[in-house]
Amino acid sequence: MFQLSRRGILKTGLGASALTLTGIPARAADPLRIGFLTVKTGPLAAGGIQMEQGMLAWLKLNKNKIGGRDVELMVADTNGVPATTRTKTQELVERQGANLLIGPLAAFEALAVADYTEAHKMPTLGLAAFDEGTQKGAQKYFARPTSSAGQASHVLAAYCYTELKMRRMAVIADDFAYGHQQTSAFLRVFEDMGGKIVQKILPPLNAPDYGTYISQIKTNLDGIFMGFAGSNGFRFTKAFFEYGLGGKIQLVGGLTAMDEAILQQTGEDAVGIISGNFYTPSLENPENKAFVAQMNADYKADPGYYACGPAIVAAVLDAAITKLGGKVDDPDLLISTIRSNTVPNTIRGPVKFDAYGQAIGNIYVRKVTRAGGKNTNTVIKTYENVSQFWTYDPAEFLKNPTYSRDWPVAKNLEN
């Protein structure tokens, strides 16, 4: 039977937790205790609630089982605060006896608990798109079935240069690590191919409006890359059209710039905007069709970046734990099985992992289309088996600094 605990220890979890903490392995017949770190309050709550919805929808579709075992989902609200994330992680591991963790939402939260989960050999399936988790300082007990921050940006830069014939572009992104890593990955590939990034604009994450920044945008551009999070993609697009630039410069976006969470709010302004992502709800595979239908039925919304991640994680877990006959008491065996497995049928398509725990899979170039008053991220090109290192040699890639505000250096900026 599926059990969901938001606070405290469930009755069935207490005995099993005690057994685990005293060194006696949990039996395969016991519920699989999953610690689910998300955000349900505070400024990041919208995305965190969608994460939980995605997990619940997948479990409902799969009879509340992973790897043949009933699931006890222990949901912890981190508030999007690193210190709280660490405290909640400790509670899930030490008091509630989690067999494994999923989450958290944000990169700064993931970084706050990385040393703890490694020290406690706690298998963790990550969702936050930060490059450090699977590059320099990659964690042994960590795997991410979704995407690094730069993975889709690499692809989109190549598409802009090769398919759209762009040569002069600007980048604009939120001024924090996620925005920096998306734009730096885009800049690197675009300029390595021969293009020029002539403007780099970094508004603060909580910018009250974008008028000041839009007034700085050059008019002789082929396109603008947007590396926004949350509702900022909608807010920028709205202002972009209000200032009369709509239709004059092609907008392209990273992972969350045109996320389904904001896509309908942008209305007709979004039509024609191109983005790169490892997922879109318009994918035609049967697993995704069923998942989208479940999300529509339960939450009256299409799944986007935040909701799809847990569903992909659950499919990867299901395949690995099934392969292990339901056993999860050996963390080394569990994480090595996850990383070595190829899962052909997740909602995003096939997934396998590199040596650092990052998924290799399809990246989709999507274009916003509109029909019946609804916006859809429609796939216009699929790049298969995309690595976080793109076409670069991994060893050479890792000799460089991690993508950041200052690396790679933008060499072609114009005043």
User: Which residues, 6+ apart, have CB-to-CB distance to 115 below 8 Å?
Assistant: none
Max Cα separation, the chain? 67
Q: Are 254 and 275 in contact (CB under 8 A)?
A: yes
pLDDT at res. 11:
33
The verdict on whether omega for the bond into residue 104 sits within 30 degrees of 0, i.e. cis, is yes
pTM attached to this predicted model: 0.92
The two tokens of residue 69 are: 């075992």
Cβ contacts of 241 within 8 Å, gap of 6 or more: 269
pLDDT of amino acid 3: 47
SS3 96: coil
* Per-residue pLDDT of the chain in tens (415 residues, 90 and over written 9): 344 544 433 333 333 333 444 344 555 579 999 999 999 998 889 899 999 999 999 999 999 999 999 999 999 999 999 999 999 999 999 999 999 999 999 989 999 999 999 999 999 999 999 898 899 888 999 999 999 999 999 999 999 999 999 999 999 999 999 999 999 999 999 999 999 999 999 999 989 999 999 999 999 999 999 999 989 999 999 999 999 999 999 999 999 999 999 999 999 999 999 999 999 999 999 999 999 999 999 999 999 999 999 999 999 999 999 999 999 999 999 999 999 999 999 999 999 999 999 999 999 999 999 999 999 999 999 999 999 999 999 999 999 999 999 999 999 999 8
The number of beta carbons lying within 10 Å of the beta carbon of residue 229 is 23
Amino acid letter, 305: Y
The answer to whether 286 and 28 are in contact (CB under 8 A) is: no
Per-residue confidence (pLDDT) for residue 27, from 0 to 100: 55
Cis peptide before 204 (omega within 30 of 0): no
Helix (H/G/I), strand (E/B), else coil: 10: coil
CA distance 248 to 246: 5
Tokens 């675009």 correspond to: 190
Residue 245 burial (CB < 10 Å; 0-12/13-18/19+)? Answer: middle
| Helix/strand/coil for 149 | coil
- Tracing tokens 């709550």 back to the chain, one arrives at 45
- In this structure, how many other beta carbons lie within 10 angstroms of the beta carbon of residue 4? 16
Domains of the chain (ranges plus CATH)?
3-122+284-347 (3.40.50.2300), 151-282+362-397 (3.40.50.2300)
Angle made by CA atoms 166, 230, 90, in degrees to the nearest 5: 125
* Alpha-carbon span 396 to 337, nearest angstrom: 27
Identify the helix (H) or strand (E) that includes residue 17: helix 11-21
Partner residues linked to 76 by β-bridges: 37
Alpha carbon distance 344, 235 (integer Å): 37
> How, if at all, do strands 374-386 and 359-371 pair?
antiparallel
- Residue 153 is classified by DSSP as H
pLDDT at position 44? 87
Helix (H) or strand (E) holding 287: helix 286-299
